[in-house]
Amino acid sequence: MANLSINELLKAKMKAVIDDCMGDSPAFCSATCPLHLDVKGYVGKIGEGEYNKALDIIRKDVPFPGILGRICAHPCEEKCKRGEDVCKGEKQPISIMALKRFAADYDNENTWNLDIEAEKEQKVAVVGAGPAGAMAAYLLRRKGYNVTIFEALPVVGGMLRVGIPSYRLPRNVIDFEYSILEKLGVEVKLNTKIGEDIPFSKLESDFDAVFVAVGAHKSFMMNLPGADLDGILPGTDFLRNASLGNPIEMGKKVTVIGGGNVAIDVARTAVRLGAEKVTLVCLEKCDEMPAHQWEVEEAKEEDIEVVNSFGVKSFRGEGQLNQIELMECSSVFDEDGKFNPQYNESNTKFINADTVVIAIGQTMINDFVEDKNLLAPNGKMQADQVTLQTANPKVFAGGDAVGRPLLAIEALAHGKKAAISIDRYFKGEDLAVDRDNEGTYETKLIKDFKDEDRGTVRKHMARISIERRKASFEEVELGFTEDQAKEEASRCLQCECKTCMKHCEMLNDFCEYPKQIMEKTMQDQGIEPLLAYSCNMCSQCTINCPREFKFAEIFMDIRKELVKSGDGPLPKHKPIKIHQTLGFSAAFNIVQPDLKAGFTKRVFMPGCALPSYNPEAVGGILKYLQEVLPGTGAVLKCCGKPTKALGQEKDFKERYSQLEAAFNQLGVDEIIVACQSCYDTVSTYSPDKKVISLYQVMMEHGIPEAAKGTGKGKKFALHDSCVTRNVSEIHDGVRYIMKEAGFEIEELENSRENTRCCGFGGMIVPANPDLAMRVMKRRTAEAKSDTIVTYCAACRESMVRGGKKGFHLMDLIFLPGCADKEAPGLGGPLNSWMNRYKSKLQIKKAHLKN
């Protein structure tokens, strides 16, 4: 590695990449997922039929794929780009949750990763075996800490077990996946109520850290007339007793109050417990209900009546509930979006009911907390939102024990957050640093949903019949078949921003995305010189980058710094340096006025590569130009591009000044170039001169008569030079010339402004020949024809090296009949310099008056 002096300009360019490169930006689904599961990773594996690998990807982040595959609210699907497609009146996101469940059906406990880091002396108490507590226990045990879970219930799972009915989440799935805790060595103490069986203060004294994840098992009730009547039950108690098989006193007519997912679960559970009539009453309009719409629809399928936009005014009965008085709810939220229901008490109606179950929200039972300073005004634990640490530094709290009610996936994320904080707490590290992207966040990723991606329809899992659903707690959804899963997974767009990586061979050799190179270079204040000298400088990455980062500029700046420090060019660049020395020597240069015309207004500049390849074409071009544009002289001299490409800034300036002197010697203000590198270099460094391509001139004045029609019946592929990818006039001129000559053109997939480098760019051939060859072969592989035409002699050589036959466009125009012969092969260095000298003679000859 070479030390690198990073100046402010270069630093700014690199920092822009570090800040805004989207190469490591997660897909929309993964960023939205509170646990940031690698959705496209496991969905992709399912699509490939690699189900066990898909499961490995899921289990890397969460040990409960079967649970999440059944009850996750899948916020990821709401951000899926496929959801932008509306087909048959519905959005069509990928069925991510169902695919997770499909993978989980292949789970095998014998393949579980039970690795544990070195055992540590610290002990952690986790209060509650729900999703937050279980996740924290799992991660902390994997870190090597001794973990004990205290659970008040006789079973593990918390609200997963007693808040979600078994028709949605079979209990054997919970037991199977929770068994990993025991396998890892987590001690689980069931039927243990903190505050009754063990004082909370004892946990604080006996353990090095405590994580409170007790969930929200206490229903909010309604303080209304008649609320003390028999037959009015809390929703959490109702679901808990149903889940544990405890007796429930329930009549035949059940009304559920509430519009959320818990209310839906209560209503559907009541159906399965034998209620003849179940009604759900909520304040919200149908499209405002907190419950997921698919759950509302499933409830309606089971003959549950949903009464929207009504609230309870009173409960009626003599000791026992028998009727509910409802009043219209005109609005639920105020203009600020806050919950503030308004009622029209003049519009009332009555519902007969034996049982009412209140499911309007729930909170934690906090009577075990001895230090009330740990509680927030709402009765839940008061904890830092970032670290979950409470006022007692060793006590942490998460899940539904803090803040708003959480989705199961959010509770799991809280468990992960707590585990990170507790681990840092034990290590004496800052608990809050670098935690910006925990939980749901907006990805930097940019991805347009294309029209060609539209029209695919989302797969849905089959369900058991409605009759079976209403009669038992049998699992409703049956899961995907293998064919369904693979077909659904194949719809995934695999959202990512690595378009530069798809187009650049070089970047793939050195990084997963360019940001890595910039970060490492900035961190090390150094770079491997070969990396900087492996860039083709073709800008293919830039034109495919949504941010349009100019990586070629950055690597060029780095090359300049390497030259200053003596670490560049590389020893392998010796042939380039020799070429430049000879290229500027008098033996191979000529500055020639137009002696025939007697005046010189412009010059033809053939460059280096064409004269070294085809002297006859050079002479023919000059004669043609003198005929159509009298007053055309010639300058046979290198533009210095190879020197510039190596980063030799000082040498380049000196050499280019020689070229400028030649222009000034002839007093010309117009340069006609055949070489694309010359076009770019002279345009940039001689802004006072008019620079025009030979191919533009030929489109304006026509091709020689002798060349017209000579290519009739022949079809060749055409390669565009990357140096002038943005000069459409050159592209048009080249195609005009071929068509005028009668040739049919095979347009390559990447052409014109989207063309790919031939492999010679950036002087990488001597520095990194293997990479150069891969670039060449990738380019030639695009052509169906066995012959490729180029308008750069170096590009022609690349096509030949890449396995194709190659002509320079000027071969076809100034050597009529050559297309009927074998295309030229490769010449050695000696032959090239002999041709260069012959080109000098051709230029002299073209200017003889006789």
Burial environment of residue 131 by CB neighbours within 10 A (0 to 12, 13 to 18, 19 or more) = buried
Q: At what angle do helices 551-565 and 8-20 cross, to 10 degrees?
A: 140
Q: Given this model, what pLDDT does residue 850 score?
A: 47
45's enclosing H/E stretch is helix 39-47
Instruction: Name the nearest CA neighbour of 361 among 269, 275, 282.
Output: 282
| Separation between Cα atoms, residue 36 and residue 61, nearest integer Å | 8
Q: Are 625 and 700 in contact (CB under 8 A)?
A: no
Topology agreement, domain 123-216+376-427 and domain 218-363: yes
Q: Please name the residue that has the structure tokens 């070489």.
A: 675
Query: pLDDT tens across 512-551, in order?
Result: 999 999 999 999 999 999 999 999 999 999 999 999 999 9
**Sequence-separated (6 or more) residues with CB below 8 Å from residue 564:** 5
| Separation between Cα atoms, residue 70 and residue 57, nearest integer Å | 18
Q: Given this model, what pLDDT does residue 5 score?
A: 86
What are the distances in angstroms from CA 497 to CA 513, 580, 636? Answer: 9, 39, 45
pTM: 0.84
The CATH architecture one would assign to domain 705-838 is 3-Layer(aba) Sandwich (3.40)
What are the distances in angstroms from CA 377 to CA 360, 397, 403, 583? Answer: 19, 15, 11, 83
Residue 719 structure tokens? 């390669």
| Separation between Cα atoms, residue 795 and residue 668, nearest integer Å | 29
Contacts by residues 773-781 (CB-CB < 8 Å, ≥ 24 positions apart):
773/801, 773/802, 774/505, 775/505, 775/506, 775/536, 776/801, 776/802, 777/802, 777/803, 778/505, 779/719, 780/804
| Separation between Cα atoms, residue 261 and residue 263, nearest integer Å | 5
Q: Given this model, what pLDDT does residue 88 score?
A: 66
Instruction: Name the nearest CA neighbour of 506 among 770, 781, 722.
Output: 770
Antiparallel, parallel or unpaired: β 590-592 and 632-636: antiparallel
DSSP for 560-590, written as a single string? HHHHHHT--S-GGGHHHHHHHHHHTSGGG-E
Domain residue ranges in the chain: 2-25+497-568, 28-111+440-489, 123-216+376-427, 218-363, 705-838
Residue 27 — φ and ψ, nearest 5°?
-65, 160
Superfamily of domain 218-363: FAD/NAD(P)-binding domain (3.50.50.60)
Q: Given this model, what pLDDT does residue 62 score?
A: 97
DSSP for 87-120, written as a single string? ETTEE----HHHHHHHHHTT--GGG-----PSP-
CATH number of the structural domain 123-216+376-427: 3.50.50.60
> Which residues of the chain fall below pLDDT 50?
850
Residues written for the chain:
850
Antiparallel, parallel or unpaired: β 253-257 and 355-358: parallel
Instruction: Name the nearest CA neighbour of 696 among 715, 667, 670, 666.
Output: 670
- Sheet containing 355-358: give its strands across: 232-234, 355-358, 253-257, 277-281, 305-307
What are the distances in angstroms from CA 241 to CA 162, 191, 504? Answer: 8, 15, 61
Q: At what angle do helices 769-780 and 793-801 cross, to 10 degrees?
A: 90
* H helix intervals, 273-317: 293-301
| Separation between Cα atoms, residue 651 and residue 557, nearest integer Å | 15
Instruction: Name the nearest CA neighbour of 246 among 362, 337, 119, 155.
Output: 155
- Tell how many helices (H) and how many strands (E) occur in the chain: 36, 28
Residue 796 structure tokens? 């022609």
**Sequence-separated (6 or more) residues with CB below 8 Å from residue 4:** 521, 525, 526, 527, 558, 561, 562, 565
Pick the CATH number of 28-111+440-489 from 1.10.3470, 1.10.287, 1.10.1060, 3.40.390: 1.10.1060
3-state secondary structure of 693: strand
Q: Given this model, what pLDDT does residue 817 score?
A: 87
